[in-house]
Structure 1
């Protein structure tokens, strides 16, 4: 699921960290500090809630459904702009894809259970609110970084901006044409390392001017993927 466990490291073992760089970290809609005005209209919220319920209470049904022919395969997801923007699509052509998400791998219960448990931990109830954390590096305000794509259709930039405003000790970087897999963009990994190791920040990765929120994902888009909610 990505870098969300880093929040627990910042909470419980900060003394063991020299620095942190989270790239499009998944957010949890249950974190109480998120204002309802930001999450109420987010189409991802009810979808995550539904998937969480299915994963928690009917894992057998979920395992059966994700390995059926009618369920969208990773190759279908890669082709649909519902999930990824144009630049991500170009980057995907040069990567090996999602080996953990192929039907062949998901048929293995060990792989499925690992991903399911990861999902449940990520979107379940946490015993702390990340937005109430204090800086683990009070002598150095450049040690914790979040990198986010402005065009990310999986993790909304609006919520990442909210986190960075509540935690000003976090260095927030935003890629204007960045999608969810921006780590595959040419030059991004170098920029991430230079930011955390040398404290450099390129002007291209500063938050862009606010625009209107991304439109909701329509039911037509779900139908085009073979998913009916």
Structure 2
């Protein structure tokens, strides 16, 4: 066979070879992308090598469990029953209305307080289908299994405060009252004036703007976005000092509990903090600013507490919510940041305001 003939055959086979190489490269890229985008499964509680179960837990109707911790007076001796809903990257062990309230207040007002790990946090089983409604129903089940009675109080902090909107929407008949403590706002709630929400949104650090865009528009990319190394991830997750007010920096040392930090994310970051972002800033089935008064006969009260120097939750949007919902008792604290509940006397003030007790 001549050299010219060999070259001709080689040239004819090249397109097929290039296609095979392209196909192999594409398959390899897709395999890499799938691995990078797909969050690892949560570490199963109580499984061999998995996180230990040390807390009391209730079993929900769907088979999942919620871990909880009780504070204050025994349930059967208490006059007022509170459920505390923790914030972002936290757990049942950070119930400040129990840990920061004075023993005298607990005793004199007859307080029973229970904090629980929200799904995927601490020792509560994950809920990959979690919504504001499902969490509200979980709280109702917890109250029933612990025997808290027909009505109970709820206090939600930060992302837990945002969750309280779901309770006011779906189980208002079970609430004796509610306190939203610097509740996170969703910039995409439909009733916010576009200019107001836009102005508040762009006051965030650029990496936080992008983190929320991803959580809202492409939630399936949240795990990759928060773990990749090309762009800076959420400054909230990183506890950046840039998002702390002067008061927050003073209180941070008081809030840090090294023994609790590992416990919070022990099932994995995706089913805890990432899912929090996806739900909190995702597409809601209702707009909290359009809720009706849950206590039309003044049988209870709703309080919203906000610091005017909070760098995580914009005070301008909280003011708007308070104006839209005149049945809310709004408390704006000058000079306060996001961690103000840990300031001396604040947790007592929150509880006493909820119970209409004079300080």
User: Shared fold by TM > 0.5?
Assistant: yes
What's the CA shift string for 1:80-134, capped at 9, x where partnerless?
2x211111111112222587777x975x553432211121111111111111111
TM-score, length of structure 1 as denominator length: 0.73
For the 8 Å contact 2:227–2:233, the answer to whether it is kept is: no
Alpha-carbon distance in 2 for matches of 1:136, 1:8: 12
SS in 1 for 2:254: coil
Alpha-carbon distance in 1 for matches of 2:164, 2:237: 30
What's the CA shift string for 1:188-219, capped at 9, x where partnerless?
1011011100255x8xxxxxxxxxxxxxxxxx
For the pair 1:163 / 2:298, whether they are aligned, the reply is no
Unaligned runs of 5+ in 2: 1-158
1:120-135 to 2 correspondences below 5 Å: 120-135=278-293
Closer, same or farther in 2 for the Cα pair 1:100/1:188, shift >3 Å?
same
Runs of 4 or more, structure 1, over 6 Å off, are 70-76, 98-102
How many corresponding residue pairs? 195
TM-score, length of structure 2 as denominator length: 0.48
Note the C-alpha offset of 1:56: 1.7
SS in 2 for 1:3: helix
Q: Which has the larger radius of gyration?
A: 2
Aligned to 1:12: 170
Alpha-carbon distance in 2 for matches of 1:117, 1:75: 13
Unaligned runs of 5+ in 1: 203-229
Instruction: Please point out which of 297, 301, 318 is paired with 1:139.
Output: 297
Q: Which one has more relative contact order, counting CA pairs under 8 Å at least 6 apart? A: 1
Aligned to 2:255: 95
For the pair 1:30 / 2:192, whether they are aligned, the reply is no
Alpha-carbon distance in 1 for matches of 2:270, 2:215: 14
For the 8 Å contact 1:99–1:105, the answer to whether it is kept is: no
**More deviation, 57-66/23-32:** 57-66
Alpha-carbon distance in 2 for matches of 1:172, 1:56: 32
RMSD: 3.2
